[in-house]
Structure 1
Amino acid sequence: MPKKIIHIAEDVSLTSGGLRSMITDLNNQLNLSDLSSKIITLKKEENDVFDLVESKQNFWNYSSDYQKKVEIDLNPTSILHLHGVWMYPQYIAAKISEKNNIPSILTCHGMLEPYLLNDKKLKKYLYLNIILKSILKKTKIIHAITEKEKNNIFNLTKHPKIIEIPNLINIDKTNSLKYDPKEEYILFLGRFHAVKGIELLVEAFEKIDNKNIKLYLVGFKNDYCMSILELINKKGLNKRIRYYGEAKGIEKNILYANAKAFVAPSFSEVIGMVNLEAASFKTPVITTYNTGLSKQWNKNGGFLINPVLEELVKTLNIVCTMHTNERIERGICLYDFVLKNYSWNEKGYLWNELYKSL
């Protein structure tokens, strides 16, 4: 009987951003192997085939039915993979794991990184000490996405077994999209949140030399998005910065492929799936050292910077002056680098080995 991986996640809808990409890709790849995998969640997209547990919206994502659903699906080969740290599904899954002597893995997804821990600091540290540390003790393996995250988790928890596996992307080698933009633009695509550095990006874009190139902001509208749009209006940048709204499927792919460069000036991130997605379309990517990407990113067509205004302005100016050939060559170089270091094609075996070791 194959090992059965049960992914515990409160939200894998499109609004969850890179979390959805990582969890759903992992689920899909495992089901293509000799392992069995499923996702139990409180929120998904209409056409997803994951197991949905109905729940009322509440601050902890509590659902009395979640425990019942997980326990019904257990068998002697089950492994519980907890995604995230702050919500009821992870809490109850850890208790189920201990009660039934079922091994568990927990992926923090960067939620215990210092920048995010300092947001609502008192509440998070209370939860960490009262509830989360007991969850971590019950977890057999903690999965870290970067070396930096691994070190931070160890310093915080002293957990004896922390395994590092980077975020991975499934690269479609048959992709035929070419760089052929109708107008030159820089692209940000992702979840609108202060941690993503979008306000910094707007301020930097205001100061760049090229006043003709556009900035496209793509993502779901939320309260933070509205504050960014107010900032753009206040600065009089409406003609240079376009809020595109949400995009998915081929529409999203075309946006990636035709960008002069993709930019994600995050203050805290664990690789960031959008960086890998953009690179998979042979698009140069500007992001930050805070993402935990290999420093070789800088030598393979991409740009790693610190999330400060001067560095971002300087790098955007470099990108804006790239000729088409340089832009294409950088994109190809970064694509090859991601294929080798961050793709399911090359690194997917690490997950199979980890699950089979339990």
Structure 2
Amino acid sequence: MSKIFNIVEDVSFESGGLRTAVVNLHNYINETSNNLSSVLITNHKEEQDAFSEFKPKDISVWNYSSELKKHLNSNINEARLLHLHGAWMHTQYTSSKIALKSNIPYIMTLHGMIEPWYLKQKQIKKKIYLELFLNKMLKNSNVIHAITPSEKANIFKLTGHKNIVEIPNFIHYSKINITNEYDPSEDFFLFLSRLHPGKGLDILIESMSKIENKKIKLKIVGTQNAYSDLLKKQIKSLGIENRIEFVGSIFGDEKFKLFANARAFIAPSYSEAIGMVNLEAAICKTPVITSYNTGISPEWNNNGGIMIQPKTENLISAMNEAAKWSTSERIERGNSLRDFVIQNYSWENKGKMWEELYNSL
């Protein structure tokens, strides 16, 4: 069996969709491939994960780990290729250098981290890092993997790389035990993700203050942080504290039950590479309102979901529409969206694209 080293800075629960995407790829290869196996190497994992973990000890702000570097130098010849996930950490930097020195091919998946919206955040630091390190890492990669058409176009514009392969994020629908049907005890919209400025929570909260239905609530699921403190100030200034609930982090069956009973899941992201939560919600038969900036196919609009530009007026219109759905329409939309995701975004139907790419290198 040829080994693929999947290397990523963080697969803890706090990494959100990054964990889902990378762990699903790792599991798919190990469960289905006849000639490939995956080894997952990271700086941060959960206690129960059977992955190789090398925590940063020296320069934590850059995820610097001398132990990771030592491990890769000692084991690099076991790898057929390296698949590097992310952009801005020592994790990718040292892995690319060792692969190049050892004449081992490597793939880079950026997971939306160099999309224009994100490049504008801490712009000067990122520009310097691009010029000093990242541009060279990308240039030397055998393949750059893009998750969406827009990401592919932006990567080419930035790098001019001749081998950019587009494969969307997928979901293992058969591994999600869907036992809950739509039967809510209260009427609510749902947001579930990292609480981060890029997720569009500011316009979601503003829209909640302006929609016609003042009885429907919003549940915000995610680990609270400094940004959630800012959101709470926004909520208080709008006088809608009684309509928005911060739930904290929820995982497993409890999360899927919450998805299943939401009137709609809302992810109005400013920039995203096919957010995994959109796919999870759809598999739970929940209609999803999301933005065109997530890179999901516009056919989402014709299969039970709603896509918008991430602007307050657009989101208000979509939420007003969803608030008026009858129970039967809400259920029908959820069923249609689930079928669409299974056909277009599932490991069961599309995962072979990764085997074909790995075997081509």
TM interval, shorter chain, is over 0.9
Counterpart of 1:161, as a letter, is N
The residue number in structure 2 matching 1:233 is 236
> Is 2:187–2:216's contact at 8 Å kept on the other side of the alignment?
yes
Alignment of 1:221-260 (within 5 A): 221-260=224-263
TM-score, normalised with respect to structure 1: 0.98
The residue number in structure 2 matching 1:158 is 160
The residue number in structure 1 matching 2:90 is 88
The residue number in structure 1 matching 2:212 is 209
Distance 1:87 1:209 in 2: 45
Counterpart of 2:12, as a letter, is S
> Is 2:5–2:79's contact at 8 Å kept on the other side of the alignment?
no
Distance 1:25 1:211 in 2: 39
Of the three residues 270, 282, 287, the one matched with 2:290 is 287
Determine whether 1:126 maps to 2:125: no
Determine whether 1:299 maps to 2:302: yes
The residue number in structure 2 matching 1:47 is 48
SS of residue paired to 1:42: strand
Distance 1:175 1:75 in 2: 42
Determine whether 1:188 maps to 2:191: yes
> Is 1:3–1:356's contact at 8 Å kept on the other side of the alignment?
no
Post-superposition Cα deviations, 1:116-171, rounded to whole Å, max 9, x if no partner, equal 01111111111101111111122100000001100100010001100000000000
Distance 1:68 1:330 in 2: 51
Distance 1:299 1:71 in 2: 50
SS of residue paired to 1:59: helix
> Is 1:178–1:258's contact at 8 Å kept on the other side of the alignment?
yes
Query: What displacement does 1:234 show?
Result: 2.6
SS of residue paired to 2:172: coil
SS of residue paired to 1:75: helix
Determine whether 1:261 maps to 2:260: no
The residue number in structure 1 matching 2:170 is 168
Post-superposition Cα deviations, 1:74-127, rounded to whole Å, max 9, x if no partner, equal 335521110011100100010111111111000010011111011111111111
The residue number in structure 1 matching 2:16 is 17
The residue number in structure 1 matching 2:117 is 115
Distance 1:8 1:134 in 2: 18
The residue number in structure 1 matching 2:61 is 59
The residue number in structure 2 matching 1:74 is 76
SS of residue paired to 2:153: helix
> Is 1:186–1:216's contact at 8 Å kept on the other side of the alignment?
yes
Query: What displacement does 1:63 show?
Result: 1.0
Distance 1:338 1:73 in 2: 38
Distance 2:166 2:104 in 1: 21
Counterpart of 1:17, as a letter, is G
Distance 2:72 2:177 in 1: 38
What value does the CA root-mean-square deviation take over the aligned residues? 1.1
- Ranges in structure 1 where 5+ consecutive residues have no aligned partner: none
The residue number in structure 1 matching 2:274 is 271
Q: How many residues were matched structurally?
A: 357
The share of aligned pairs that are identical, in percent, is: 50
Post-superposition Cα deviations, 1:157-211, rounded to whole Å, max 9, x if no partner, equal 0011000000000002762221111101000000000000001100001100111
Instruction: Indicate the larger mover: 322-331 or 167-176.
Output: 167-176
Query: What displacement does 1:303 show?
Result: 0.4
> Is 2:209–2:240's contact at 8 Å kept on the other side of the alignment?
yes
Q: 1:153 to 1:342 in 2, by over 3 A?
A: same
Instruction: Indicate the larger mover: 185-194 or 54-63.
Output: 54-63
The residue number in structure 1 matching 2:103 is 101
> Is 2:76–2:99's contact at 8 Å kept on the other side of the alignment?
no
TM-score, normalised with respect to structure 2: 0.97
Query: What displacement does 1:10 show?
Result: 1.1
Distance 2:255 2:179 in 1: 14
Query: What displacement does 1:232 show?
Result: 1.5
